[in-house]
Structure 1
Amino acid sequence: MAAMARDLLAQDSVDATLERITASATELVDGCDAAGVLVLHTSEVETLAPTDQLVVDSDRLQVEAGEGPCFAAARSAAGERAFRIADLADEQQRWPVYAPRARELGVGSMMGFLLFTDDEDLGALNLYSRRPGAFTEADELAGWLLASHAAVAFSSARAHARMRQAVATRHTIGEATGILMGRQRLAHSQAFEVLRRYSQENNVKLSEVARLVCEGKRTVW
């Protein structure tokens, strides 16, 4: 588990981190046949780094049914921060639409863990087994430990990605400003104001205007 935690933090992108998280679940948790991260947005559900088509199909089914255990784990305010389901066949009263159809997909048992830090909720790590009764209390503990490390790594990867994007955007805007200064003999503040005004008047993000100027695809003067 310690080696896994170091490995997660060593990944160089959000996608790589997520893929390592779900792969670690299948490697470290006995009985886990598939894993994925479910993220709830305002109007849609996103399945990240699934290790098997079963994960994608289960998430899609929960969206169609409007119910399911992964939703409960991802919505920390409305449900538990972890769940362990021994047999989907016994859950038809709780999830009358999802449970029987999930069994048809081949889902036997499941576990799910909210991925969260002190600052944000990130989604849920969901583990699947095709066999009922596959997960024990020890497996649930292993899943909790994995989810705790995964949340920190996921949050860190997203923060680094945002930082890299901000630096890249700042560089592009600076380059575009320099192009205007050279071509139009403008001061730095004047060149930046040209970009800003064009962005506002045409409802185009400043970073996108700068990119197009740098690529010679748009004239803003």
Structure 2
Amino acid sequence: MAADPDREWSVPAVHHGEVLAVPDLAVDTDRWPEFAAVARDLGYRAILAVPMVLDGRTIGGLNVLYSQPTDFDRDDHRLGALLGALAVLELTQETGDQRADRLAERTLGLLNDRVHAGQATGFVAGTLDVSPARARGLLDDYSRLHAIPLRELARRITDGTLHPVELTETDAIETE
């Protein structure tokens, strides 16, 4: 989900409430070169960004990533809009005038967790000299094996209380 429209690549989805489709990130690299490169490194080839709307106000965006180039059609756009609406519905099981603000706060918290996980992934990849996808896999495996939420594991990695090499111990345990 995108909650900071000034820093996200999906500005049209957030600012204008428009669906944004990029059928092939390997072809469309000029608009968001950094995002496209990271997405491709993680194995994604296409993206559909849809607005998340609450009470007629766009409060964020939902990015649906695809592992293959995709020719998006009208049905894909409608399905994306439905996913966005369902995400808003799930996040807004509250009532009252302040629910949009509470949802925005939650969305920013989730975005912050994603950014922190991304920083940890980059740190692990750089330290262990592995691909970002492999680094994220190590984080996910360690998180699952040790029952540590990913946001907590990311914090431990970035604050130095857990060294990235400790994540590789998971590989040795799983192969025994």
Structure showing greater Rg: 1
TM range (shorter): 0.3 to 0.5
The alignment's TM-score, normalised by the length of structure 2, stands at 0.45
